[in-house]
A and B are shown apart, each in its own frame.
Chain A
Amino acid sequence: MPESAAPRWHARFMLGLLLAPALLWLGALIVAPHLDLAVLSLRERVGPRQYAASLAQYRTFFADPLYWHVFVRTAWMSVVATLLTLLLAFPIAWVIAKLARGRAGSLLFIVCLIPFWVSETVRTLGWMILLRESGVLPGLLVRLGITDMPVELLYHDATILVGLVYTSLLFMVVPLISSLESLDNSLIEAAYDLGAGGFTILRSIVIPHAAPGITAGCIVVFMLTLGNYLTPTLLGGKNSEWFTEQIYNQFIVRFNWEQGAAFGFLLLGLSTAMVMAGLRLTGQRFGDVMRRT
């Protein structure tokens, strides 16, 4: 109808205007640099300021077992960190969403939030002060007579995991709380009334209901962990062998941007593949997960 044509055009224009900042941000800061990186990763330096298209950067990755090893290790450690975060966050989210009433719930949530008032660097340095050989925790262990000499608690895989879980906890707790809060308590009571025990209720009622929240939390935490640089580098030292460190080395230390760009794309591919595999495994769709949380 002619009357509605103008308002519809107007509405579209307004929608475009509202979306403009987000689209600009997405285009200028994410799509454009990635296109540039893609071009960069697919060329090879053949002479001073001379480049040719080539797959050499990717070939290097598959040829050198060190890169492979670090790549797989990063993926594996990230999966472990994500699962540990989930195990730790679930009871916290349950308490906040279901058991704590009124102010106690928000207070607990603030307790989870407080570490994030401090920058990640300072937080990680805090862990170092606690865990290094001359630090607080080894000293305490000696004083309690558990160890004879101060032990170095830094630079272990477990240390890296502790740091990663600590950094990621909030990002798991938030989607879990929102998905658990929407679970009607009477469903739990009904299951209990029909003869189910705690474990069955968890398995057949709570987890299926919270699945989108669990998946969303896992995706966010996995991506954050996989792409984390500071925590593994500081807490793991030279034992960290984290893939982001390899990317950093290529770009900054070796000034080999082509190789770094290729590594960056491999990491992007890895995180995409892992997320897709996770969704497939739990039978969920990405859109549903993002909508439900």
Chain B
Amino acid sequence: MSTPDLVADAVVKRFGEHVAVDSLSFAVERGSFFSILGPSGCGKTTLLRMIAGFIAPDAGDIAIGGGSMRGVAPNRRPVNMVFQQLALFPMMSVGENVAFGLARRGIARAERRRRSEAMLERVGLGGAAHKRVDELSGGQRQRVAIARSLVLEPTLLLLDEPLGALDLKLREHMKIELKQLQAAFGTTFVYITHDQSEALVLSDHVGVMSHGRFEQLGTPQDLYYRPQTPFVAAFVGANNRVVGRATARDGASIEVTTADGWVIRAIHHAAGAIAVGDPVEAFVRPEVASLGRSEAQLPAGQPPHAGEVLSVLFDGANSAVLLQESRSRREFRIALPQTGQFSDLKPQERILFSFDPARAVCFPARAQAAGADA
């Protein structure tokens, strides 16, 4: 494997008492799409701005393309950034926007023109060079912003929640377009977002960030199926969180009993030991559970649970039913099967459900787990 395009080594950034980025180390492989996913205020923007060079780390080092970036100004780094609000220059035409960086490198006018027009062609905006920025649609501006950076052939393209300003439909469309662009150019993308769906769809690897640290770094599949911390389990994808104590243990399989006596089983595969009696958090994904009007309808061998329908949340392929588990009065969300079965569920109806304990995960409870929201 070639040297990684981006290496962060114990990077720290503090703002007064607040530690925005807390001794973070990671590497991003050449040509990959790397996302940093986290809620607002987790330090992801600070991290991105340190990579771009707008702020300097207090400690640690960032290397890009194998070279340390210590003391290198943003305009000297082999990195370009697509800003959240895109930051296209309104005083220039589309072509001038794309050629701006080339002009700064002292490339002759004719060559600048040729390259910027070729780049616009590649992002599907051939012939738009003479247009004004405000004549373009949101999606087209997005492409100009990316073209403006990619024309400089950076080692690394940084993207700061570039889809945040777009409406939902366009966002879905641009997600696919971004992934195709990245595949076509082969440039290493570092993408920050608070939208887990963007991170999962686009990325080769995702770092889930919270309080200045990576909770977990892995492929989207890892994060989704094998979360290493309760934060990741709660933040990535929908999940039902069940808080209780470990009441029995059989290898990795833990029996979790809630304060009101509801018993479920889940697998413990993450770091940290769980002993019988310890407080734990378990997570069950909505699509892991199955519904049944009788025990015979439930998959064989799965322990049955009972609940009462609170509401049916119809959302096409993502439809779900919100139950109240009978024992604990706890809300529990279960995906409705695509077959249309159970689409006739009514509120207050009693229903059975079950899930494979091997697909439910369990963690030692976080220190302030009681207060944290799932």
Contacts and interface: CB of A to CB of B under 8 A. Distances in A.
A125 interface: no
Interface string A203-238: 011001100000000000000000000000000000
A194 B148 contact: yes
With a 10 A CB-CB cut-off, give which of A195, A196, A197 has the most chain B CB atoms: A195
B89 A195 contact: no
A190 B75 contact: no
A195 B87 contact: no
Given A186-B85, A205-B89, A191 B100 contact: yes
Contact of B101 (A194, A197, A205): A194
B148 A209 contact: no
Contact of A186 (B84, B90, B92): B84
Interface in A26-56: none
A169 to B, nearest CB: 27
A191 B91 CA distance: 12
Contacts of B52: 193
Contacts of B84: 186
A284 interface: no
A189 interface: yes
B361 to A, nearest CB: 40
A104 interface: no
Interface in B142-167: 148-149, 152
Contact of B80 (A186, A194, A196, A204): A194
A200 B89 CA distance: 13
Q: Which residue of A189, A190, A194, A205 has the most chain B CB atoms within 10 A of its CB atom?
A: A194
B91 A200 contact: no
Given A195-B152, A196-B75, A190 B104 contact: no
A68 interface: no
A190 B81 contact: yes
Contacts of A195: 75-76, 101, 104-105, 152
Interface string A177-198: 0000000101101111111110
A35 B56 CA distance: 65
B83 interface: yes
A200 B85 CA distance: 22
A interface SS class: helix
B74 A192 contact: yes
B54 A194 contact: no
A184 B83 CA distance: 12
> Looking at chain A, what size class is its interface with the partner chain?
10 to 19
Interface in B75-112: 75-76, 79-81, 83-85, 87-92, 100-101, 104-105
A267 B214 CA distance: 70
Interface string A234-260: 000000000000000000000000000
Contacts of B89: 187, 190-191, 204-205
Nearest to A209: B91
A194 B84 CA distance: 15
A194 B104 contact: yes
A205 B87 CA distance: 11
Contacts of B104: 194-197, 200
A187 B75 contact: no
Contacts of A186: 83-85, 87
Nearest to B149: A194
Contacts of A209: 90-91
Nearest to A198: B75
B83 A189 contact: yes
Contact of B81 (A193, A200, A204, A208): A193
A180 to B, nearest CB: 14
A193 B91 contact: no
B85 A184 contact: yes
16 contacts: A186-B85, A190-B87, A191-B89, A192-B54, A193-B52, A193-B79, A193-B81, A194-B75, A194-B80, A194-B104, A195-B105, A197-B75, A204-B89, A205-B89, A209-B90, A209-B91
Which are the 8 A-B pairs with shortest beta-carbon distances?
A195-B104, A194-B101, A190-B87, A186-B87, A208-B91, A195-B75, A186-B83, A193-B81
Given A194-B148, A197-B75, 20 more contacts: A186-B84, A187-B89, A189-B54, A189-B74, A189-B87, A190-B83, A190-B87, A191-B89, A192-B54, A194-B75, A194-B80, A194-B101, A194-B104, A194-B149, A195-B75, A197-B104, A204-B92, A205-B91, A209-B90, A209-B91
